[in-house]
């Protein structure tokens, strides 16, 4: 599908010149409507809808990183990541990290507009198919509705009170719709249509299947705490679907794992061995600076709080309640020329595939040398760590795209959902339904993969780089313990993948967890607590961008508190 995208997208962009802003009437394209009423026209528009998964398009109102489809900057709101780099670089994101929010922040507008661009493009496909009298386009229609379901789901979980633009609204250029509340029913309808009409397999990688649609429909129910509806969907995918955990955790973040058995649905990035428009442009800031290969720009740095979560208790189990009572050894405030001894205590081995820390191999580029690879100064609030999952492995030239100022357009696919995520969602449902045995089994599948995978090696390549200890749980003694264990496992497994904030919000614990994180993080980064404001309940939803409200003429209303 990556190759098809490369072939089609230039043709598509030449044919259509639509404005994607949801409040603007799309311009008439270079081709007449009748000229598009055929299979080629449908497929061209469908490629355009897929291309919106990363949020990037020519007429976007904000920078690439604001619209990023991998949701990396939402981790910056959570306890998983700092903005990174210097405090003054990307000042708008600094305000988001320090919980100083206004509805005029361009990051909030960027994400909003990027998602509506995707909705409009999906609606364009649906509207076109509905206008064609002959031919069977049921599969393309199901793909378009799956994509619309995804874009609306993202919109819903981020902003809460959002407008719904149907294919009829699109056809009639009725884009100015009120945001009267949740649109869960419309999202469910799209994914259910995809379940019923998509094939079980696809000849082109990257396209959704009926199994993927079923997994996403289950997730929609989970976010509404409708466990009775979510459970059977997850169970069917687990018991009868085509997915499995990769033997190696690292494969999910390298070429080896592109469209593997663990990938349920992913953004198909490709770097083409060069600076590619089909690379991950939204994540272009999030590489070490200078790091081992002179990249830009030092953003998206993991927190000490996240690193602490990977401590284990000596028997291979996580410290569910006490992980922040002591800090994993770090080199904050220590120059690369000064001595440093990495943590000797027991650690979950997933830590060193998630976080780049001093003294440990960095994605095959050699041992992380510390401060000299960190752009931020000790006066900034970014800390001593580097991201790993979004950074390609040494030797993976096919994933590397480098531009004139050192920016990276990575070709690593971003997994919107992977099988480990689904197993842990199923475990969560099992806990809430009182089936602790089933929940234990799902969690232990994930933990056993981590136990049995290859570990990051030391400089000699003959021994593990740290004191890695991880074991499955022997039992879940009660529901409260099981709930805590499942939620903690989601953080350990999915950290730095754009999920953490949305988990905290739907569990109703974002305010307490994030404010505790602010206090704990200040032990390592002394001025972080001075610069960060409290996380407030209203922040469980982003504000509706004031630009959108103004353009709507007051049809849109603001979320409470903003």
- As beta bridge partners, residue 418 has 263
Contact partners, residue 512, CB within 8 Å, separation at least 6: none
In the chain, the N- to C-terminal Cα span, in Å, equals 42
pLDDT value, residue 32: 65
pLDDT value, residue 274: 66
What's the average model confidence in pLDDT over 73-102? 98
Rounded percentage of the chain residues whose pLDDT exceeds 90: 88
Count of residues making up the chain: 562
Q: What separation in angstroms does the CA of 196 have from each of 212, 214, 221?
A: 12, 9, 17
pLDDT value, residue 275: 67
> Which residue is associated with the tokens 């009298």?
133
Residues 241 and 231: their CA atoms lie apart, in Å, by 15
Contact 146, 208 (CB under 8 A): yes
DSSP assignments along 335-377, one per residue: -TTS------S-B-TTHHHHEE-TTSB-TTS-B--SGGG--S-
The torsion region of residue 559 among left (phi > 0), alpha (psi -120 to 50) and beta comes to: beta
Buried b (16+ CB within 10 A) or exposed e, 494-517: bbbbbbbbbbbbbeeebbebbbeb
pLDDT value, residue 271: 86
Residue 538 has pLDDT above 70, yes or no: yes
Q: How many CA within 13 A on the CB side of residue 6?
A: 12
Residues 220 and 191: their CA atoms lie apart, in Å, by 9
Residues 473 and 437: their CA atoms lie apart, in Å, by 11
Reported as a pLDDT band with limits 50, 70 and 90, residue 181 is confident
What's the average model confidence in pLDDT over 144-169? 97
Spatial CA neighbour of 235 closest among 220, 253, 223, 218 = 218
Residue 175 has pLDDT above 90, yes or no: yes
Phi and psi, residue 140, nearest 5°: -65, -35
Spatial CA neighbour of 73 closest among 109, 114, 111 = 111
Compare 227 and 36 and report the one with higher pLDDT: 227
Residue 14 has pLDDT above 50, yes or no: no
Reported as a pLDDT band with limits 50, 70 and 90, residue 362 is very high
pLDDT value, residue 25: 46
Q: What is the mean pLDDT of the chain?
A: 93
CA triplet 88, 353, 355: central angle to 5 degrees? 25
What's the average model confidence in pLDDT over 542-555? 97
**How many of the other CB atoms lie within 10 Å of CB of 21?**
20
Residues 322 and 326: their CA atoms lie apart, in Å, by 8
What's the average model confidence in pLDDT over 396-423? 90
Element (H, E) at 417: strand 414-418
pLDDT value, residue 23: 39
pLDDT value, residue 216: 99
What's the average model confidence in pLDDT over 390-404? 88
Pairing of strands 414-418, 263-267: antiparallel
Both structure tokens of 288: 């070490």
Contact partners, residue 460, CB within 8 Å, separation at least 6: none
**How many of the other CB atoms lie within 10 Å of CB of 89?**
19
Spatial CA neighbour of 353 closest among 362, 345, 344 = 362
Helix axis angle for 2-15 and 39-51, nearest 10°, is 110
Compare 404 and 542 and report the one with higher pLDDT: 542
Residues 342 and 329: their CA atoms lie apart, in Å, by 6
pLDDT value, residue 58: 87
Residue 20 has pLDDT above 60, yes or no: no
pLDDT value, residue 401: 85
Residues 459 and 54: their CA atoms lie apart, in Å, by 37
Question: Per-residue pLDDT tens for 292-308?
Answer: 998 999 999 999 999 99
Residue 31 has pLDDT above 90, yes or no: no
Spatial CA neighbour of 442 closest among 211, 238, 225 = 238
User: In three state form, how does the secondary structure of 508-556 look?
Assistant: CCHHHHHHHHHHHHCCCCCCHHHHCCCCCHHHHCCCCCHHHHHHCCCCC
What's the average model confidence in pLDDT over 481-486? 98
Where would I find the H helices in 64-161?
A: 72-77, 91-97, 106-131, 138-159
What's the average model confidence in pLDDT over 318-328? 97
Residues 197 and 217: their CA atoms lie apart, in Å, by 14
Residues 230 and 420: their CA atoms lie apart, in Å, by 16
Residues 468 and 463: their CA atoms lie apart, in Å, by 11
């Amino acid at each position: 599908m990556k190759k098809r995208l490369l072939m089609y997208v230039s043709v598509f962009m030449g044919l259509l010149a639509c404005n994607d802003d949801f409040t603007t009437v799309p311009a008439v394209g270079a081709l007449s409507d009748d000229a598009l009423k055929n299979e080629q026209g449908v497929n061209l528009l469908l490629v355009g809808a897929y291309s919106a998964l990363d949020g990037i398009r020519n007429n976007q109102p904000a920078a690439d990183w604001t619209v990023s489809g991998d949701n990396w900057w939402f981790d910056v709101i959570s306890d998983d990541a700092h903005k990174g780099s210097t405090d003054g670089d990307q000042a708008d994101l600094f305000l988001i990290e320090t919980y100083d929010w206004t509805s005029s922040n361009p990051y909030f507008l960027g994400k909003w507009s990027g998602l509506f661009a995707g909705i409009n493009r999906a609606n364009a496909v649906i509207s076109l198919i509905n206008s064609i009298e002959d031919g069977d386009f049921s599969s393309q229609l199901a793909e378009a509705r799956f994509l619309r379901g995804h874009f609306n789901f993202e919109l819903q979980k981020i902003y809460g009170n959002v407008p719904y633009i149907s294919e009829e609204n699109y056809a009639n250029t009725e884009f100015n719709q009120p945001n009267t509340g949740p649109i869960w029913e419309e999202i469910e309808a799209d994914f259910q249509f995809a379940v019923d009409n998509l094939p079980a397999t696809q000849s082109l990688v990257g396209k959704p299947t009926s199994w993927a649609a079923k997994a996403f429909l289950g997730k929609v129910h989970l976010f509404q705490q409708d466990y009775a509806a979510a459970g059977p969907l997850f169970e069917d995918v687990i018991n009868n679907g085509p997915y499995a955990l990769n033997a190696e955790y690292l494969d999910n973040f390298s070429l080896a794992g592109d469209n593997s058995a663990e990938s349920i649905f992913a953004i198909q990035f490709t770097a083409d061995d060069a600076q590619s428009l089909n690379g991950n442009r939204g994540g272009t800031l999030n590489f070490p600076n200078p790091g081992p290969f002179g990249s830009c720009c030092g953003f998206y740095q993991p927190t000490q709080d996240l690193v602490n979560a990977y401590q284990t208790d000596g028997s291979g189990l996580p410290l569910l309640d006490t992980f922040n009572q002591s800090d994993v050894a770090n080199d904050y405030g220590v120059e690369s020329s000064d001595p440093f001894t990495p943590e000797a205590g027991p650690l979950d081995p997933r830590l060193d595939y998630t976080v780049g820390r001093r003294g440990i191999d960095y994605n095959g580029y050699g041992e992380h040398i510390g401060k000299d690879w960190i752009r931020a100064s000790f006066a900034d609030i970014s800390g001593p760590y580097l991201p790993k999952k979004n950074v390609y492995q040494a030797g993976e030239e096919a994933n590397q795209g480098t531009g004139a100022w050192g920016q990276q357009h990575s070709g690593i696919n971003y997994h919107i959902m992977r099988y480990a995520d689904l197993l842990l969602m199923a475990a969560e449902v099992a806990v809430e339904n009182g089936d602790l045995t089933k929940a234990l089994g799902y969690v232990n599948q994930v933990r056993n993969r981590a136990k049995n995978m290859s570990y990051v090696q030391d400089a000699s390549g003959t021994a593990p780089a740290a004191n890695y200890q991880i074991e499955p749980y022997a039992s879940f003694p009660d529901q409260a313990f099981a709930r805590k264990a499942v939620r903690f496992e989601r953080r350990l497994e999915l950290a730095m993948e754009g999920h953490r904030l949305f988990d905290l919000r739907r569990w109703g614990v974002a305010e307490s967890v994030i404010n505790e994180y602010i206090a704990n993080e200040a032990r390592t980064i002394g001025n972080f607590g001075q610069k960060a404001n409290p996380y407030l309940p209203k922040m469980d939803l982003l504000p509706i961008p004031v630009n959108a409200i103004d353009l709507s003429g007051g049809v849109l209303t603001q979320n409470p508190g903003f």
